[in-house]
């Protein structure tokens, strides 16, 4: 957790609404539903939930964060045979099929989803790394009980075994199967496991992943989306904040952040995910804009952080709900309506958007 004490925000209606959205979106199991009004997102992603738990932790609700982490531990332990089988297969030189890998998202009860008539990717490594990072933030130096230690060790071994495998990105897209932001989440997770377990070998493997990222995703003094994709991506922000792949003053990192701003800032002030995005037309994403605000606040660019957060505030619905993205300046306007016909309006509220807004506001108060 940040050095500044967590506190419930006051005087900011959107921050208070965001807390209410997160609390209302937490199931009795401890899981966070991705979006209660968007049926396709009626699942609990480790990634989204880890950020939601961190936002509540910073806002003073450690009990809600603890409930999420207990749910994550239970859900992962239910998949221990699958995780162990994946680790063993990789050790034997095999590449397990995607559907044999541990899931990126679970049902709210911690079970595997029913793929139904429209299955979509569920093999992503980033969520497991982000969960370990968030869990370490929650514990803030406190010790692990025996059960938690077993789960952390399992996830760390899984990341160490699987990080070289092609998988889907944080956006549920394949795009070559290797992604800088996934490697960054893996680095953060292994570093967290090293601290929690007192295991130097996890830290050493994190450095192996870091060196691979820096070598394979380098382009003209900055970092790129993936070895086979020279574009920038909004998720590259996480290499700086919060995953610290490079120190803030490293020229490669500064150039990467600048490239995100130069290439992905939309005409109204929000960030696109990446150039060429067609999901709901490829609009400006609120959670990425708050991610940028979080980074600006962290490096002392407070005016830029406030401007990014003000843009997010202007996108709130009348009741204060934040959507996943806004499509008024979509990159591919002709693709907005087809997605609406397929899945309905843009996911609103998106808990991840509210979580990132709260985290950035906390960074600005710190």
* pLDDT by 10s per residue, the chain, length 366: 443 344 566 689 999 999 999 999 999 999 999 999 999 999 999 999 999 999 999 999 999 999 999 999 999 999 999 999 999 999 999 999 999 999 999 999 999 988 766 678 899 999 999 999 999 999 998 989 999 999 999 999 999 999 999 999 999 999 999 999 999 999 999 999 999 999 999 999 999 999 999 999 999 999 999 999 999 999 999 999 999 999 999 999 999 999 999 999 999 999 999 999 999 999 999 999 999 999 999 999 999 999 999 999 999 999 999 999 999 999 999 999 999 999 999 999 999 999 999 999 999 998
Residue 105: phi and psi, rounded to 5, are -135, 150
Instruction: Count other C-beta atoms under 10 Å from residue 37's C-beta.
Output: 14
Residues whose CB is less than 8 angstroms from the CB of residue 16 and which lie 6 or more positions away in sequence, other chains included: 9, 10
DSSP three-state, residue 326: strand
SS3 content of the chain, % helix, strand, coil (to 5): 55, 5, 40
**Domain locations in the chain?**
13-365
DSSP letters spanning 57-90: HHTT-HHHHHHHHHHHHHHHHHTHHHHHHHHHHH
Per-residue three-class SS string for 243-255? CCCCCCCCHHHHH
Q: CA 290, CA 311: separation in Å to the nearest integer?
A: 9
Instruction: Count other C-beta atoms under 10 Å from residue 269's C-beta.
Output: 16
CATH topology of domain 13-365: Glycosyltransferase (1.50.10)
Farthest CA pair distance, the chain: 57
């Amino acid at each position: 957790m940040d050095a500044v004490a967590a506190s419930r925000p006051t005087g900011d209606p959107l921050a208070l609404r965001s807390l209410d959205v997160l609390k209302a979106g937490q199931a009795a199991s401890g899981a966070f539903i991705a979006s209660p009004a968007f049926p396709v997102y009626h699942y609990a992603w480790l990634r989204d939930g880890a950020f939601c738990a961190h936002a509540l932790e910073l806002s003073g609700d450690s009990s809600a964060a603890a409930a999420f982490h207990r749910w994550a531990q239970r859900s992962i332990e239910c998949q221990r045979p699958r995780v162990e089988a994946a680790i063993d297969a990789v050790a034997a030189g095999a590449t397990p099929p995607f559907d044999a890998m541990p899931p990126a998202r679970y049902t709210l009860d911690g079970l595997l989803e029913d793929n139904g008539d429209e299955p979509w990717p569920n093999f992503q490594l980033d969520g497991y790394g982000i969960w370990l990072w968030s869990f370490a933030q929650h514990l803030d130096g406190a010790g692990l009980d025996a059960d938690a230690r077993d789960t952390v060790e399992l996830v760390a071994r899984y990341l160490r075994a699987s990080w070289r495998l092609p998988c889907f990105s944080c956006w549920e897209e394949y795009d070559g199967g290797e992604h800088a932001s996934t490697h960054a989440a893996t680095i953060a997770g292994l570093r967290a496991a090293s601290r929690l377990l007192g295991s130097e070998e996890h830290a050493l493997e994190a450095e192996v992943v870091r060196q691979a990222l820096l070598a394979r995703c380098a382009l003209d003094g900055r970092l790129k989306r993936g070895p086979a994709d020279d574009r920038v991506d909004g998720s590259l922000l996480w290499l700086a904040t919060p995953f610290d792949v490079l120190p803030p003053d490293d020229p490669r990192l500064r150039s990467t952040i600048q490239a995100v701003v130069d290439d992905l800032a939309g005409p109204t002030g929000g960030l696109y995910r990446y150039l060429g995005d067609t999901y709901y037309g490829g609009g400006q994403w609120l959670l990425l804009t708050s991610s940028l605000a979080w980074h600006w606040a962290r490096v002392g660019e407070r005016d830029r952080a406030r401007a990014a957060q003000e843009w997010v505030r202007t996108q709130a619905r009348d009741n204060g709900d934040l959507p996943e993205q806004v499509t008024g300046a979509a990159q591919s306007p002709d693709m907005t309506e087809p997605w609406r016909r397929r899945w309905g309006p843009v996911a609103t509220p998106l808990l991840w958007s509210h979580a990132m807004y709260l985290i950035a506001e906390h960074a600005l108060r710190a």
